[in-house]
Amino acid sequence: MASTSPPVTEPSARSTEKEARGGSTAYLRLREAIVDGRFQPNERLVEADLARTFGAGRTAIRAALVRLDQEGLVERQPNRGARVRLVSDREALEIEEVRVALEQMLARHAATLITPTDVRKLRQILEEMTARVEAGDPLGYSELNSRFHEMIWAIADQAVASTLVANLKSQSIRFQYRTILQPGRPDRSLREHAEIVEALALRDAARSEAAMREHLSRVVETLKVAIARHQKR
Amino acid sequence: MASTSPPVTEPSARSTEKEARGGSTAYLRLREAIVDGRFQPNERLVEADLARTFGAGRTAIRAALVRLDQEGLVERQPNRGARVRLVSDREALEIEEVRVALEQMLARHAATLITPTDVRKLRQILEEMTARVEAGDPLGYSELNSRFHEMIWAIADQAVASTLVANLKSQSIRFQYRTILQPGRPDRSLREHAEIVEALALRDAARSEAAMREHLSRVVETLKVAIARHQKR
DNA sequence: CGAATAGGGATTGTCGACAATTCTATGCAC
DNA sequence: GTGCATAGAATTGTCGACAATCCCTATTCG
């Protein structure tokens, strides 16, 4: 399991790379810490503390916070510091709606660009997913699920959309288990994924788009009831 | 005319407001300068110069640049400074594709939430647009066109999607005139907008979505030929 | 004459210090 | 005991200085 989005779109490949060297290493490490949940939502992020923790200067931490704020992972208030941003239930739903729209489009593009090799890889992931469901391993399933979708993003070859959807995902990561853990969901989810692969293999753009829409719309619905149930508790 | 996105989603309402006071005023002014085209694409943005120009410290400028980099308006390379980001033709198309997907979704939501007052306002904008076309005023038309779409974003009441689409728009602003200036485009565009209003007035979600998709798909197509024509020149 | 190299100027990156602001806790009045 | 004012601590915001890096030019050597 571990972090979150390895393949398609690293945190934000826009600029400042070279890892270990430059100053953006603080950004990457802080980001990872937040996404992995090592900081609680709403937890205060004191610059001096972070600087000590990550062995960086306050300047670097500051830049990282500005960046994470713009990215939506952190909330900064003037003179009052930064906290890990808590995304509300309402917002999580909005994010998921956007994801539906974007992945739909990505599926359509993927259908016209997909190669036999890609299809083989997708089927392979699908098999592994089946195994995890049978083994009753929701965590492993969830990880493969991510791989599945990321693979489609890569095939679609649409950098803008992929970056956006990856960013949104890291914002709403806290909600990802609420859907899979619903009863009966894994089986149904599996069938939906199978239909997506089927449509992609046929290079049928319209059907691929529809299948993805169908799949993610159900995820949204599931999330809605999960949240409703979670609230009246 | 002037700036770009007044109503729905100011530059980035996430944090740091209060305008004239805090330090983010440099960010806002620099952003506006870039979006309005007062800096050429690829032009170097030297921190010291900007600090003098905007009467701010280098620290504030630095924070603004980090933010604008994350936002995609500026490109920063380690130790080599920042430049106004040049979005390629390819990327402009990708951005527009994303816009199709998002606005489609926004139209669907707007259809279920729209009020008679909203409909009246949309029809009014539509009338003004007609007047501009008849007057042969593409600039005024373009401005109203923005207002039209922003109004729909507002109605849809989806902050996440609205923010994204607004950001994308400021990135691709350089391309906005390439579509409208194509021959025969204004008339057709007008009819498409009318159909959108019609569908929204009926509160018909599916039809609204389809109308928006139809409209923006044509914009993408138009942009494609405009770019192709522009390249072999 | 061309290529490699060293020097100098310009620019970014980072640190430490201090000012400005917010937060916390204590004391005082009622 | 509750509410308000105030002092002190904690934290952020900003500035100036310096180190690190890059870019350009001129010089030297083959």
- When pLDDT is averaged across residues A13-42 and rounded to a whole number, the result is 74
Instruction: Determine the pLDDT at residue B6.
Output: 41
Would you tell me the crossing angle of helices B89-113 and B185-201 to the nearest 10 degrees?
A: 30
Mean pLDDT of A202-226: 96
Give SS3 for B1: coil
Residue A186: predicted pLDDT: 84
**pLDDT recorded at residue A8:** 52
pTM attached to this predicted model: 0.89
Measured distance CA(B66)–CA(A142) in Å, rounded: 33
Residue with tokens 């870039």: B34
* Residues A38-84 pLDDT 10s: 999 999 999 999 999 999 999 999 999 999 999 999 999 999 999 99
Protein CA A41 to sugar C1' C23 (Å): 21
CA of B79 to C1' of D28 (A): 30
The per-residue pLDDT for A129 is 95
Residue B179: partners with Cβ closer than 8 Å, 6 or more residues away: B185, B219, B222, B223, B226
Residue A20 in contact with partner chain B when CB distance is under 8 A: no
Quick: pLDDT tens for B83-100.
999 999 999 999 999 999
Contacts of residue B63 in chain A, CB cutoff 8 Å? 62-63, 66
B57 touches strand D (CB under 7 A): yes
Q: Does residue B78 belong to the interface with chain A, where contact is any CB pair within 8 Å? A: yes
Residue type, A61: I
Q: Which residue has the higher pLDDT, B27 or A184?
A: B27
User: In the prediction, which pLDDT does A3 show?
Assistant: 41
Show Cβ contacts of residue B93 under 8 Å, excluding neighbours closer than 6 positions. B220, B223, B224, B227
> Residue A168's pLDDT band (boundaries 50, 70, 90)?
very high
Residue A168: Cβ-neighbour burial (10 angstroms; 0-12, 13-18, 19+)? buried
pLDDT of residue A24: 76
At CB < 8 A and 24+ separation, what contacts does B12-18 make? B12/A70, B12/B67, B12/B71, B12/B163, B12/B167, B13/B163, B14/A69, B14/A70, B14/A72, B14/A75, B15/A69, B15/A75, B15/A76, B15/A77, B15/A78, B16/A76, B16/A77, B16/A78, B18/A78
Amino acid B214: pLDDT? 96
Nearest CA in chain A to B156: A94
Contact A158, A109 (CB under 8 A): yes
A85-137 pLDDT per residue, tens: 999 999 999 999 999 999 999 999 999 999 999 999 999 999 999 999 999 89
Tell me which chain B residues have a C-beta less than 8 angstroms from the C-beta of A95: 160
- Looking at chain A, list the stretches that DSSP marks H as alpha helix, in order from N- to C-terminal side: 25-35, 47-54, 58-71, 89-113, 116-135, 138-156, 159-171, 176-180, 185-201, 205-231
Q: Is B183 left (phi over 0), alpha (psi -120 to 50) or beta?
A: beta
CB contact under 8 A, A77 and B105: no
What's the rounded Cα separation, in Å, for the pair B173 and B233? 22
Reading phi first (left if > 0) and then psi (alpha if -120 to 50, else beta), residue B37 is in left
Which pLDDT score is estimated for B23?
A: 62
Instruction: Find the Å distance, CA of residue A48 to C1' of nucleotide D3.
Output: 35
Instruction: Spell out the SS3 assignment of A27-77.
Output: HHHHHHHHHCCCCCCCCEECHHHHHHHHCCCHHHHHHHHHHHHHHCCEEEE
Chunked into runs of 10 residues, chain B (233 residues) has average pLDDT values of 45 40 79 94 95 94 96 95 95 97 98 97 96 91 95 98 97 88 85 97 98 96 90 75
* Average predicted confidence (pLDDT) for chain A: 89
Rounded to whole angstroms, how far apart are CA atoms A181 and A47? Answer: 37
Task: Indicate whether A1 pLDDT > 50.
Answer: no
The pLDDT, as a whole number, for residue B66 is 96
- Cβ of residue B94 closer than 8 Å to a chain A Cβ: yes
| pLDDT for A11 | 54
CB-count exposure of residue B129 (10 Å: 0-12, 13-18, 19+): buried
